[in-house]
Amino acid sequence: MSIDDTAQQSDLRRHRQPLIDWQSFSVRLVAGLAALVLITTLSAGVPALWIARSQLERQAGEHLLAVQRATASLYTTHQGEINDRARLLAERPTFQRLVTEGTATDMTAYLEAFRIQSGLDYLVVCSQRLQVTAGASPVDSCSLPFTPGYGIAGGVATLAAETLVLAGEPEHPLGSVLAGVLLDEAFLKQIAANTGTEQTVLLADGMRVASSRPDLLPAGTLAAASTGAQAMPYSAQNHKFLTAAVPLDAGEGQATLLAEVALPVSGLVTAERQATAILVTSTLLVALLAMSAGIWAIRRLTAPLER
C-alpha cells in the first residue's frame, strides 16, 4: 500500500467521525447539565406562569360577576323609577282634569312636557275619551295587547310600567297610563358607562336586539351567553370579551329578555402572551448562561483526562 493510499484512508476515517462524540465523558456531562438546567428553569417558571394566569382569569371572572350584579341593580332601579313616574303622573290633579275634560291637543302637550322632564321615551294615555301618545312609543294603539315590564313591542325592546288613573271612585278608574323607555343603543350606552362593560339586550333564544356597541356586538347576531350567568368567551374584530347574561324578569318568573354583559379581556390576553414570552426568553437566557458556565467548568475538569 502506497503512502498516498494510507493518507487517503486516514482522511476518510476523520471525515466519518461524528461532529459530536456522544461517547465522550465531557459531552455527556454537558448534555446532562443542559437537561438539568432546562428542567430546573421550567419547573420554576411554568408553575409561576400557570398561577399568574389562573389569578388573572379568576379576577376577570369575579369582575364579571360584580358587573352582572351591578347591571341587574341598574335595571331594577330604572324599573322602579318608571313605576314611580307613571304613578306620579296618574295622581296629578291637572292630568286627571285633562283626562276628564281636556282635549287631545292639550293632553299631548302636557304629556310631552312631562315625558321630557322625566326622561321617558314614551307615554300612552288610554281612556274612554282620549287615546293620546307622546314620544316614540312602540305601542301606537290602546287596543293592542301589551304587558308592562320587559318585553318586545313594535319590534324593539322596551321597559314599561302601567298604572290606573283613579279619582274619586277607585272602582271606576278614569283610564290608564303607560310609561316606558326603549332599551336601545342610547339606553345601553348609559348602562355601559355606569358598569364599564359593553351591554346588549337578548331575546330568550340568545338573539341580540340592541347593543351599546353595534360595531362589535351587532343586533341580529347570536350571543354565546344566552343561557344565564355562565361566563362565555366572545371575539369580534380582534376584540375579546368575557360575556354572561342577566335575566330580565317580565313578571310571573318569566324572562322574555336578557341583559348581556360583555367584559373586555383583550388586555388580559395580551398580558398572558407577554408573560409567556417573558418566561420563554428568561428560560433560554438562564439556560444559555448556565450551560456556558457549565461547559467552561467541565472543560477545566476534564482537561487533565484528555491529555
Count of other CB atoms within 10 angstroms of residue 163: 20
pLDDT (average), residues 2-12: 52
Order of all β-strands in the sheet with 255-264: 208-211, 198-203, 255-264, 239-249, 232-236
- Band (pLDDT 50/70/90 cuts) for residue 24 is low
pLDDT digits (tens, 9 = 90+) for 214-261: 888 887 777 765 555 556 666 666 777 788 888 887 555 566 888 989
Angle between helix axes 266-306 and 25-91 (nearest 10 degrees) is: 170
Q: Which comes out higher in pLDDT, residue 94 or 29? A: 94
Output the nine-digit C-alpha cell for 250.
317580565
pLDDT digits (tens, 9 = 90+) for 134-166: 888 887 667 666 678 898 888 889 999 999 888
pLDDT digits (tens, 9 = 90+) for 263-307: 887 666 666 677 777 777 777 787 777 767 766 776 676 666 555
Q: Which amino acid is at 240?
A: K
- Catalogue all structural domains in the chain, each as residue range(s) with its CATH number: 52-269 (3.30.450.220)
Task: Output the CA–CA distances (angstroms, integers) from residue 306 to 16, 171, 213, 292, 302, in the order listed.
Answer: 21, 113, 73, 20, 6
**Residue 208, beta-bridge partner list:** 202
Q: Which amino acid is at 211?
A: S
Q: Which comes out higher in pLDDT, residue 229 or 59? A: 59
pLDDT digits (tens, 9 = 90+) for 82-113: 999 999 999 999 999 999 998 999 999 999 99
Output the nine-digit C-alpha cell for 204.
330568550
